[in-house]
Amino acid sequence: MRGPHNIWRLIRTGATFQRTGAMGVVLDAMNAPPIIRMAARIIGFPFAWLGKKGDTSLPPLTRAITALGPAYIKFGQILSTRPDVVGAELSDQLQYLQDKLPPFPSAVARRMIEKELGIKIDEVFSEFSEPVAAASIAQVHRARIAATGEEVAVKVLRPHIERAFRTDIDAFHFSAAVIEFLLPSTRRLRPADVVEHFEGVVMGELDLRLESASASEFAENTANDEGFVVPKVNWGLSGRTVMTLGWGEGIPANDLPAIRASGLDMDRLGERVLQLFLSHALRDGLFHGDMHQGNLKFAANGDIIAIDFGIMGRIDEYTRRVYAEILYGFINRDYRRVAEVHFEAGYVPADRNVEEFARALRAVGEPIFGMDATQISMGRLLSYLFEVTERFGMETRTELILLQRTMVVVEGVARSLNPNINIWQVAKPVVESYIASSIGPKALLTDLAQTVRVLARFGPRLPELAEAALIRQATPIPETDRARPVRAMGYVTLGGGLALVAVWVSSLL
């Protein structure tokens, strides 16, 4: 389904932006030169009638995005958290996309719930509200369980949402292929892999059983995080298209006037949002991957309540250590070490100059220190970072896409609460704590202990592997296979060495 027929979808996307007036808004936000603006008007005007009309009561950009469908809405949600990139006015307009989209009829939601769970709504719930929030993929109803009196949030997928997403993602795949073909210089950014990653994340979000599992695991990981709440999953009232969670009572994070009126410490809330995200990513390797204002609430006592766990990010221990060292190097302004970590991890080709890369990183990092957010143009900073990655041949790391995207979103949330927040100062204690526990002697002992456990499982097979290797060594081997016993013997020798180390570590633990 990724063939040329998608050209029509791309044409209609551009036509929709033209018809709704969003094209001019986007060009203004990008500070596009006059010749580009004129070309867009000349080319786009004759095709504007092909675009979708959208809701004329909405501002142009929001109108275009909502008309185009759920995948575009997801992208708009990200931009809504970055007033420093798109401007305060556009950011305010795009916040509509977070949880204020038109709901589908409650009667449809009721039928879907009853079919999925095999229940009767009026028998199980003593109260069941009209939709209280509606986003790109699902909507939420507030309800009360008749048997227990517990207040819950019942999330229901939009009808036919999977088909709609597949249509959009199909067009994205085609676009990525066209871009790579026409602009070979973009291949290092791996647009096709980026779209594939996006597809995997979003399609996983369309099975609420997986979201329930993520919420449950996330709650276990964060149970001891003071001031952070993850509502409990009600497994008996959850399925593929329905999920039921405990109700989290609080002020939505995008209702800034209400937060100010509540007397809550907004500066502290901004710091906590950023620190908690970093803590979850580094400490647990499992983090909320869609942490925009629409998915956060603040309780009267200042607790941060997280909701919507459809997109969760995971990073392995090695990647966490690399990421922490990079952050730690920036925090300490040790650009040489940051550069070395990039080379050691293979993020930068080995034939590039580490000193030159360190100098480029210094040019990125130094303007940040000693300034508050009002003095930093994140747009210019991101533009320069892109130039640096292009100059040094860095490829897009698909395993870090969600982490990087969520970091941008969380920073935007923190800045909305505290415009003068210094992200480096706030991040420093979390990163230092992770460095102390995960990089150094303590981490070495932990790694060796894990090696002991692995060897304990495979230890009984080591004599068998060694005997097989010796027999193969004594048997004539075809020319093409001569390297194999050498490798096998190497594995055995390595295994024996690790076994000795394991014994030593066991004596220390």
Mind listing the pLDDT tens digit for each residue in 219-241? 999 999 999 999 999 999 999 99
Spatial distance between the Cα atoms of 310 and 307, rounded to a whole number of angstroms: 9
Q: Contact at 8 Å (CB) between 269 and 292? A: no
Smallest CA-to-CA distance from 54 within 44, 45, 38, 65 is with: 65
SS3 297: strand
- Across the chain, mean pLDDT equals 78
How does strand 138-145 pair with strand 125-134? antiparallel
Residue 432 pLDDT greater than 80, yes or no = yes
Active-site choice (290, 303, 447, 481): 290
Residue/partner pairs of 365-372 with CB below 8 Å, 24 or more apart = 365/330, 365/333, 365/335, 365/338, 366/333, 368/424, 369/333, 369/424, 371/422, 372/419, 372/420, 372/421, 372/422
Q: What is the mean pLDDT of residues 294-315?
A: 91
SS3 458: helix
Residue 94 pLDDT greater than 80, yes or no = no
Contacting residues for 216 by C-beta, under 8 A, at least 6 apart: 233
How does strand 304-306 pair with strand 228-229? parallel
* 143, β-bridge pairs: 128, 152
Give pLDDT, residue 78.
Answer: 63
Spatial distance between the Cα atoms of 135 and 96, rounded to a whole number of angstroms: 9
Spatial distance between the Cα atoms of 311 and 168, rounded to a whole number of angstroms: 18
SS3 102: coil
SS3 377: coil
Q: What is the mean pLDDT of residues 67-73?
A: 80
Q: Contact at 8 Å (CB) between 300 and 250? A: yes
Give pLDDT, residue 373.
Answer: 53
Q: What is the mean pLDDT of residues 201-220?
A: 88
Q: Contact at 8 Å (CB) between 252 and 235? A: no
Query: Domain-by-domain residue ranges, the chain?
Result: 6-99, 102-135+137-247, 249-439, 441-508
The answer to whether residue 290 is catalytic is yes
